[in-house]
Amino acid sequence: MKILTSSQQKEADAYTIANESISSIDLMEKAATAMAEIISSRWDTSHRMIIVAGPGNNGGDALAIARLLSEKEYRVNVLLFNVTGRISEECLTNAQRLNDCLLESFTEVTEELIMPELEATDVIIDGLFGSGLSKPLEGGFAQVVQLLNSSPAQIVSIDIPSGMMGENNSNFNRPNIIHANLTLSVQLPKLSFLFPENSDLVGEWILVDIGISKDFLDKADTPYTIVEEQEIRKILRPRQKFAHKGMFGHGLLIAGSYGMGGAAIMSARACFRSGVGLLTIHTPICNHMLLQTSVPEALVEDDVHEHFFADETDLDPYQAVAIGPGLGQDEATAQALFAQIKSCYIPLVVDADALNLLARYTANLANLPRHTILTPHVKELERIIGRCSNSYERLMKAKSMAVNLQCFIILKGAWTAIISPEGTISFNPTGNPGMATGGSGDVLTGILLALLAQGYTAEDACRLGVYAHGLAGDIARQRMGEIGMTAGDIIDALPEAWKQLSENNHVK
């Protein structure tokens, strides 16, 4: 699923009108009809509807919704803001269509606003400004937004909360943006919907299909997409009848230190649960018996040091390597890590303490092999790129880093972002807050290692691995609930996740 910029959304509307034999006012009617249906399915006629409409097409949508709700016998109050005397043609048409409707009130605000007293049972339909807004709200409109936000009523925003931008809200004042309970986004989501600091502004969001031209959407060039299950199913390879373990790769996991052997265990178990043929774990001597007992399927190669990784190892037997879970940050470990990276010629995943050591000695980032996969969470990333004021800035800096290093960056969190060396960004839809627990990242590293060892490209491994990781988390939530989940539950759910994804992949 593509994510269009605000300017592209305007182009999509114009293209649809020009090529799909539909007028602007009729396209607006389709949007309003779909939105009115959603609103009426959520709130019955006992709720008073307060329609707050601006002078543009977002206001036109709101006025059309007002008419449709009045026809469903809702009590409807309309506030149309026309402080400049310039109203869009579609907004004016929908205002005139209200003449024949039975409304509780219709107020055209040209100077002073007299807001009706709002109650907790009221529903505000926010149609002040849409995604075409180019600057922060100020003055009277900012005061209106603050007044609406302070009311006990629930707020439904049309397309986007008024005062919010579709992409970058770095310079916007949060109190001057509508805090919606529900946002009805036209056709596709906005990039800003996927950022955690905007969750209380957007609330729940629903996509409203209004029939935007498929031809335009297919041709639209955008770096932002949301991964869909049908794409993932196409990536996953079915296993052949005469397959053997040698066909599914030999992975190397460099992980663990004194007191952090559990990270190596979780990563190794996830690797086996993701189809690797063979796995060797290179770990300090202190973890030898722990790993032999906990992951009997794995081969264990002892490092020269008792307590931490201190010596690079030969990569010739392996098809892929992952390094970092529970590695520790000893100075000897840093030097061994950088030597291992510099000599690496097979697909590589870098996670956890390996990232933290690279953040400490950033010159070594230049030695990462092309198409290396880095898997930072927000804090790990910011140790490398510096502190960021918001998610948009962080995403743009991560994009620059991925392009400059020619690597893949998996920025973990809700809507995990997969950033490619070409600067494209795919957001993953699976996963849940129950996965916010120690060891979840180690599980992902094991999954990625398994896929790379099996011969998946770095790009396919990122998309498939992140999706399956989140899907396993969703299955674990169904079994355990979010609060009681552990990383081990995600591992235990991986077989079911792979089974679900391979349901349509037939053995040949």
The ranges assigned to domains in the chain are: 6-222, 229-501
pLDDT score of 504:
63
Residues 69 and 36: their CA atoms lie apart, in Å, by 6
pLDDT one-digit tens code per residue, 378-418: 999 999 999 999 999 999 999 999 999 999 999 999 999 99
Residue with tokens 């290692």: 449
Residues 80 and 468: their CA atoms lie apart, in Å, by 48
pLDDT score of 134:
82
pLDDT score of 505:
58
Instruction: Say if residues 172 and 180 touch (Cβ distance below 8 Å).
Output: no
pLDDT score of 113:
80
Residues 104 and 217: their CA atoms lie apart, in Å, by 40
pLDDT score of 101:
92
Instruction: Say if residues 103 and 81 touch (Cβ distance below 8 Å).
Output: no
- The 8-class DSSP code of residue 301 comes to E
CATH number of the domain located at residue range(s) 6-222 in this protein: 3.40.50.10260
Closest CA to 51 of 120, 105, 121, 114: 105
CATH topology of domain 229-501: UDP-N-acetylmuramoyl-L-alanine:D-glutamate ligase (3.40.1190)
- CB environment 274-311: b (16+ within 10 A), e (fewer): bbbbbbbbbbbebbbebbeebbeebebbebebebbbbe
pLDDT one-digit tens code per residue, 353-382: 999 999 999 999 999 999 999 999 999 999
pLDDT score of 116:
85
DSSP per-residue string spanning 439-489: THHHHHHHHHHHHHHTT--HHHHHHHHHHHHHHHHHHHHHHH-STT--HHH
pLDDT score of 111:
84
Instruction: Indicate the pTM of the whole model.
Output: 0.95
| Amino acid present at 10 | K
Helix (H) / strand (E) containing 208:
strand 204-208
- Spatial strand order in the sheet of 408-411: 224-226, 425-427, 417-419, 408-411, 373-374, 348-350, 320-323, 250-254, 278-283, 299-302
- What residue ranges of the chain have pLDDT lower than 50? 506-508
Strands 123-127 and 49-53: parallel
Other beta carbons less than 10 A from residue 332's beta carbon: 15
Residues 473 and 468: their CA atoms lie apart, in Å, by 8
Residues 453 and 320: their CA atoms lie apart, in Å, by 5
Helix (H) / strand (E) containing 32:
helix 24-42
329 exposure class (CB count in 10 Å sphere: 0-12, 13-18, 19+): middle
Using alpha carbons, list the distances in angstroms from residue 232 to 227, 460, 465: 8, 9, 9
Residue with tokens 């952090």: 260
Residues 62 and 50: their CA atoms lie apart, in Å, by 10
Instruction: Determine the Cα angle at 107 with ends 101 and 109, to 5°.
Output: 145
Q: Do domains 6-222 and 229-501 have the same CATH topology?
A: no
